[in-house]
Every structure is written in C-alpha cells, then in structure tokens.
Amino acid sequence: MKIPRWREGGYWTIPDEFRSRSRLLDFLKKHLNPVSFCAQMTADQTINRDTATTVQFDTETYAGTGYDTSNYTFTAPYAGKYFFYTSITWENIAATIDLHAIAFLHNSQILYVQADNRNSGKGLYASGCSWTDNGSIILDLNKGDTVLVQAYYQDTTPVATEQIQGSTTASDRYTMFMGYKL
C-alpha cells in the first residue's frame, strides 16, 4: 500500500505491522458498529390507571444500533454492559394521583427504577401540573436480550387516564429513552 509523502518526491511503503493493524481496525469498524441510540416521543400517550404500559418512543433522534421504533424495544446486538436512561414527562397530572412510576424491563423482568408516592392521597400536586420522572440503569446483557420502558400510575379517585408528553417539535421532546454499550 502506498500513500503520498508529506513532501514532494514520491511515495513510501507502509510496513507489514501497520498494514495488519489497519486491516484489523477496518474489520472492527465494519462489524462492531457503535451501539447507541436516543429515542423520543412525537405525540402524547395515554396511560390507563393501574396498568403498566410500554412507553412509545417512536422517533430516533440519534439512530444507532439496536432500537426498534415499531415495538419500542432495544435488542442487544452484542453481549456486554449497557447504560440506559429514561425521562418521562407526565402532562396535566391530576391533583389526586397517589403514585407514578417508571420501570425498565429486561427480557420482560420488571426493574423499577423510579417511583414517587409522596402524594399518598393528600393532594400535594397542583391540578394540571406536569411532572418528570427519570432514571438510569446499567445492565449486563447477552446478545438478543431486550430492554424497554414502562410507565404506571395509581389514583384513589376515578381518574381513568393520565398523559405522557410527546411533541412534534424536536426541541420540545422531553420524554426520551437512550442507551449505549459501555
């Protein structure tokens, strides 16, 4: 392999050691793409009371490897340690809500990361306010393992649904799910 010299007057040849390293780096770049993603919501999502619901992160703002916007699930392309983060903005939350929670699911096993029950029927939320839950987790995954986010809430009064905020405006998308391989 010949590459141009910095000075005029010809070319020089790369030694074999550098040639094999270059091939190895090319192989790694081709076959081990970085595993990372960031997905957000483009529309509000209704969450039913007392029902764990998969959050519909439908738009990848940083498209990497592994996240599927059709089923809102990350599937590990390689075994290893992964970092995940989520931020869920509840919109116009009822003043009577008792508990709201977010959870990461690893292969359908629920791993609660954040739950807030400080209201406990005492009306600590102002009617119509918004609330953000966020959490992160590091998981050891095998190739093919799945991770997704669910939201849940309870209310002692008959408020049937709550809303998670999404937006068609990219700068207003506060509800997100992101991750990467460590």
Residues 19 and 49 in one domain: no
Alpha carbon distance 182, 7 (integer Å): 41
Sign of the dihedral through C-alpha 110, 176, 66, 56: positive
β-partners of residue 88 are 133
| Residue-wise pLDDT tens digits, 90-141 | 887 776 666 788 999 999 998 877 766 555 445 555 666 777 888 999 999 9
Domain range for 55: 34-181
Residues 93 and 175 in one domain: yes
How many domains does the chain fold into?
Answer: 2
Q: What is the pTM of this model?
A: 0.76
Query: Would you say 125 and 132 are in contact if contact means Cβ atoms under 8 Å apart?
Result: no
Residues 57 and 7 in one domain: no
Residues 114 and 167 in one domain: yes
Q: Backbone phi, then psi, for 31, in 5-degree steps?
A: -100, -15
3-state class of 31 per DSSP? helix
